[in-house]
Amino acid sequence: MWKSDKKGALLVVSFGTSYRETREKTIDAIEKALSERYPEYEIRRVFTSKKIIRILKERDGIYVDQVEDMLEKLWSEGCPEVILQPTYMTWGKEYEFLLQVVKTYEKHFTRCRVGAPVLSELQDYRQLADILLKETRECRDSRVAVVFMGHGTEETDNEAYRQMDAELKQRGYNNVYVGTFKGQPDFEAILEKIREQKDKVHQIILYPLMIAAGRHAVLDMSGDSETSWKMLAEKAGYQTTCRIKGLGEYPGVWALIGEHVEAAKGK
């Protein structure tokens, strides 16, 4: 029997990160914002990366449930309603796996709904473009190229990131680019476009287009290896600055994720 005074549970489903500082600034912040917006639900954390779950448990003594484990717990507790809201950026294999797991357990709850990833509808792209342009004032300087690094995948054409890039370009920000470190468009392709501006651009500023600025932001974007975006940009002759700030630090993104929760509630 459900003993909580809450009407159900709101599971915030993240891939996860082992970097404490960015976890506190992003995933913690999103969960806090959702708890304030939806006080009628218990907020519960779920990570989908088994590797990160293992690292946190062994290194820090922190245990985070996987989706299956949390749904098992809620079922045993008699929870009547469950909403699962992912912090994933796009539809992909992580989201498809989440849907499959939920399909197995949904029969055990009166209501069980899954919210959409951050970038799902056209309005999401428009809202995120507004957020990025507000938070990255360097975009207004045509002498600076602002490049956002998304995760991407080699299995698809990364259409969501291309669409995000197009949305920014449609607003007249031709010095702003979106790429991925897996698949296309990669950073080499972006550098080619920056070079086409000849002597107009003197500086490149790199931002992660990821909820948490974890391993990929620290190593693949701003690391010292010869394949990091920072080193590639410097090798190409550009003064380069890295902003290690995940999207989960932006209040606008908290609100955008909250809107997906709202849509899931109404399903």
Contact between residue 200 and residue 143 where contact means Cβ atoms under 8 Å apart: yes
Cα 27 versus chain centre, distance? 10
Look at strands 41-47 and 111-114 and give their pairing: unpaired
In the set 151, 202, 216, 260, the catalytic residue is 151
- Rounded CA-CA distance 124/167 in Å is 11
Which CATH number applies to 137-242?
Answer: 3.40.50.1400
Answer whether residue 157 shows pLDDT above 80: no
What confidence tier does 154 reach under pLDDT thresholds 50, 70, 90? low
CATH number for region 8-118+249-265: 3.40.50.1400
- 8-118+249-265 and 137-242 share one fold: yes
Domain locations along the chain:
8-118+249-265, 137-242
The pLDDT score that the predictor gives to residue 152 is: 83
Q: What single string gives the DSSP state of each residue in the chain?
A: ---SSSSEEEEEEE---S-HHHHHHTHHHHHHHHHHH-TTEEEEEEE--HHHHHHIIIII----B-HHHHHHHHHHHT--EEEEEE--SSSSHHHHHHHHHHHHHGGGSSEEEEPPPSS-SHHHHHHHHHHHHHH-GGGG-TTEEEEEEE---SSS--HHHHHHHHHHHHTT-TTEEEEESSSSS-HHHHHHHHHTTTTS--EEEEEE-SSS--HIIIIIITSSSTTSHHHHHHHTT-EEEE----GGG-HHHHHHHHHHHHHHHT-
Cβ neighbours of residue 57 under 8 Å, at least 6 residues apart?
A: 63
Q: Which amino acid is at 74?
A: L
Considering the chain, what is the average pLDDT of its residues?
95
In whole angstroms, give the CA distance from residue 19 to residue 248. 14
Pairing of strands 8-14, 144-150: unpaired
Tokens 């990929």 correspond to: 216
Q: What is the pTM of this model?
A: 0.94
Q: What is the mean pLDDT of residues 237-243?
A: 96
151 catalytic residue (yes or no): yes
Per-residue confidence (pLDDT) for residue 266, from 0 to 100 = 86
Q: List pLDDT tens digits, range 7-65.
A: 999 999 999 999 999 999 999 999 999 999 999 999 999 999 999 999 999 999 999 99
Task: Give the CB-side neighbour count of residue 205, counting CA atoms within 13 A.
Answer: 16
Phi, psi of 14 (to 5 degrees): -120, 155
Q: What is the largest CA-CA distance in the chain?
A: 68
The C-alpha atoms of residue 57 and residue 51 are separated, in whole angstroms, by 10
Report the candidate in 16, 21, 95 with the shortest Cα–Cα distance to residue 55: 16
Q: State the CB neighbour count (10 A cutoff) for residue 73.
A: 13
Q: What is the pLDDT of residues 179-196, one digit of tens each?
A: 998 888 899 999 999 999
